[in-house]
Structure 1
């Protein structure tokens, strides 16, 4: 979900929102549809493989296309029916090199046997986008975990979507859903150049000439007018935004309509703790083991050293794969993903630490 400069807007209103953190307007997730329950183990050892969204499935690249400069779209399938998903969902790709990266699903949720995703080649990436572009050709098999949804479409009478660059990928299925439901929407979509912006033809089709889609290539028109877009949104609209960090920061700094601002970040913004990190012990209640987490390590790394099957993905505190229940002990949370309610009972092993000398985990 990294991009240079782009925006997608959809006007809509709605839903009671609020769980604002000190940092800004972080809202509680309120899905438009009931979300399917995740199948998670309730007993057994850490070595047990999870089922459902955390189980890796081997899929084949059925089709590869380039919908814009520097963007590759992949359609994956060949394994029969796949777990269902809703707009805003993403999957983890376990790449041939072993790298694990998250990509939003941008296809049609009604296609039960395929997943479609798109990624932009970024020079400053950690290698994932380059491997996708250079290695994943038609016929190549790849492991997929998920889908998961940390960015569901909020229930609302109208929508304002804001997307930057490749941030259009989770927004596109939301636009389709709003249009199919007959819900008012508006879209502001910006990027570096028109040629670098994928899915323009489909968005124009969805717009149907009604002026609901505003495309703002930076080389032609500069930056999109965020303030004007939010001010023009219906008073009860829900705003969904995905794109580069500065774009989302700018959106959250502006007055928002009553439906609140819903964000998805795919870059780490986890804060550091106060003072130097200290070692602590993590008791894994269900496995009966206790792991020592050194000061220069993470809980995730220490636990995976003993139990390699422990699920993880981004290792930066933004995907939620390693979210684990906390039974005892105080946690120093260093993520910007979990809600206040989730922080009361869980932690992200990849970034957060025990505030004291010990924490008891539901593992």
Structure 2
């Protein structure tokens, strides 16, 4: 797993009535682990909830600070509210990361599409790509209104298409996507309806050219849902996981306590050992190497009829 750091909240700034910018630095002034555009951190908020937030600045090999933006979600599960209401300059926050599952791949041209707070990784990407004079970068930034658009002036001055649906109506992405281009990569981050629209409009594109990230995390009950068996390795208990329930909640139903926080595949709190069987990984946390040994039961399921799992840190049984 990514390195855990204790960082000081050095700056906070309200960018809009709902979006606040937070800057984190080492208490000793030391440089921090490097990252590339599209990376995110997992913060332990003042309430104890863990939430993942994209880094908004261009990638750096030896950064002196990390900057994230958090949108206040009044109907959320409390992480963003905790950051907005209780995170104060000078506070120490526990940070895990950076981790990147949404990194830039080589291309001649990039079409970057942001929806709402999904602008955070897109801003990082746009600024990183502009260092490369050979890359063609087009940016579309969709929001409801200008008052709720973080970095609005910056994107307007950069030549990006900035569209406000409350005033201008729905933006038509089709003219930008009608002709697939092998020299172009599309990156999109935003709410699920935007992701769904983009995927529908790019069905005729080669899948490897289209990259999406849903900033809300993963729907535990989305995608293909079939029941499967889970064996809790420490006791050998056989557990049937129904089609409409997550592995995490089913383990709890059987009195097995697994730590968790976001329950959307973004924070890594509920990581468990994958002893045998194949997992249908749906999280945004594990690396490709880690996926052979771990799974996130909040969103991931078995790819076959059965998996054998155990607490994080459990040693493989002798063979």
1:268 counterpart = 2:218 = yes
TM-score calculated relative to the size of structure 2: 0.79
Contact 2:264-2:283 at 8 Å conserved across structures: no
The CA distance in 2 between the partners of 1:320 and 1:262, in whole Å, is: 22
**Offset from partner CA, 1:260-314 (integer Å, 9 cap, x none):** 2101123322337335x76x3233xxxxx456475588459959x9897x7x653
Distance 2:23 2:163 in 1: 28
TM-score, normalization: structure 1? Answer: 0.70
Q: Decide which of 291, 308, 314 is 1:359's aligned counterpart.
A: 308
Name the counterpart of 1:107.
57
In structure 2, how many angstroms separate the alpha carbons of the residues matched to 1:56 and 1:346?
18
Can you give the 5+ residue segments of structure 1 that lack an aligned partner in the other structure? 1-39, 41-52, 284-288
With over 3 angstroms needed to count, the CA separation of the structure-2 counterparts of 1:325 and 1:358, relative to structure 1, is: closer
Look up the SS of the partner of 2:15 in the other structure. strand
> 2:317 maps to what in 1?
none
Hey, which of these two has a bigger chunk of strand by percent? 2
Alpha carbons of 1:321 and 1:130: their partners in 2 closer, same or farther (altered >3 Å)?
closer
| Cα deviation code 1:50-73 (max 9, x no counterpart) | xxx2x4321111111112231100
Q: CA deviation at 1:124?
A: 1.9
Q: Deviations over 1:123-181 (max 9, x none)?
A: 22111111111111211221111111111112111100111000000100100111111
Higher relative contact order (CA 8 A, sep 6+): 1
| Per-residue Cα deviation, 1:185-243 (whole angstroms, up to 9, x for no partner) | 111111110111011222234x2xxx4x1110112211222111223675521000000
How much is the aligned-residue C-alpha RMSD, in angstroms? Answer: 3.4
Residues 73 and 58 of structure 1: is their aligned pair in 2 closer, same or farther, counting only changes over 3 Å? same
- 8 Å Cα contact 1:159-1:186 kept in structure 2: yes
| Partner Cα separation in structure 1 for residue 39 and residue 25 of structure 2 | 17
Q: Does 1:124 align with 2:75?
A: yes
**Distance in 1 between the 2:307 and 2:68 partners?**
41
- Residue 229 of structure 1 is matched in structure 2 by 176
Kindly indicate whether residue 123 of structure 2 is the aligned counterpart of residue 167 of structure 1.
no
**What pairs with 1:70-89 in structure 2 (closer than 5 Å)?**
70-79=18-27, 80-89=30-39
Distance 1:168 1:179 in 2: 16
Describe the SS at the equivalent of 2:201.
coil
Matches within 5 A, 1:156-305: 156-182=107-133, 183-205=135-157, 207=158, 211=159, 213-231=160-178, 234-255=181-202, 257-258=205-206, 260-265=209-214, 266-270=216-220, 271=222, 273-275=225-227, 280-283=230-233, 289-290=234-235, 292=237, 298=247
Q: Of 75, 79, 97, which residue of structure 1 is paired with 2:47? A: 97
Unaligned runs of 5+ in 2: 315-319
For structure 1, which segment, 105-114 or 344-353, has the greater mean C-alpha deviation from structure 2 after superposition? Answer: 344-353
Number of residue pairs the alignment of both structures matches? 295
CA distance in 2, matches of 1:273, 1:132: 34
Taking the aligned partners of 2:161 and 2:196, their CA distance within structure 1 comes to 21
Alpha-carbon spacing, 1:176–1:137, altered in 2? closer, same or farther (3 Å): same
Of 316, 324, 329, the residue aligned with 2:277 is 329
What is the distance in 2 between the residues matched to 1:57 and 1:342? 20
Instruction: For residue 130 of structure 2, give the secondary structure of its aligned residue in structure 1.
Output: helix
